[in-house]
């Protein structure tokens, strides 16, 4: 197929990056701040997942909204210190579940663009 979904290719990498960053921050970082940033990224994915239809431009816009936030989280992960509490772990699991649900919705919409 001529149209390749950027979201489909970037989503697993983003998922892996966020998971590994969370583990790193859990060992030596400020989890609350990281989770706030992670939540912002998931909110962007949810916004596009809940759209009625997606266009090719939406996939590009989604990535341009997410990538700067990922870079900021990456920089934070390199300089943060702290520990992961039970509340942090619960919040992480909630955000991860939202992220997974948004990706599942997006993947069905990315098979074909309606515009």
Condensed to tens digits (0 to 9), the pLDDT of residues 52-69 reads: 888 888 888 888 888 888
Residue 2: what pLDDT? 41
CA–CA dist 96, 42 (Å, integer): 8
**CA-CA distance, 73 to 35, in Å (whole number)?**
9
Can you give the pLDDT at residue 52?
A: 83
Report whether 5 contacts 59 (CB < 8 A).
yes
Single pTM value for the model: 0.71
pLDDT tens profile 3-44: 445 555 556 556 555 655 555 544 445 777 778 888 998 999
pLDDT of residue 27: 41
């Amino acid at each position: 197929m001529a149209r390749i979904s950027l979201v489909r290719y970037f989503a697993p990498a983003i998922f892996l990056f966020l998971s590994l960053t969370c583990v790193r921050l859990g060992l030596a970082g400020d989890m609350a701040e990281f989770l706030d940033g992670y939540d912002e990224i998931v909110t962007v994915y949810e916004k596009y997942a809940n759209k009625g239809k997606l266009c090719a431009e939406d996939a590009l816009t989604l990535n341009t909204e997410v990538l700067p936030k990922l870079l900021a989280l990456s920089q934070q992960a390199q300089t943060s210190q702290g520990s992961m509490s039970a509340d942090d772990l619960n919040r992480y699991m909630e955000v991860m579940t939202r992220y997974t649900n948004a990706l599942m919705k997006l993947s069905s919409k990315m098979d074909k663009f309606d515009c």
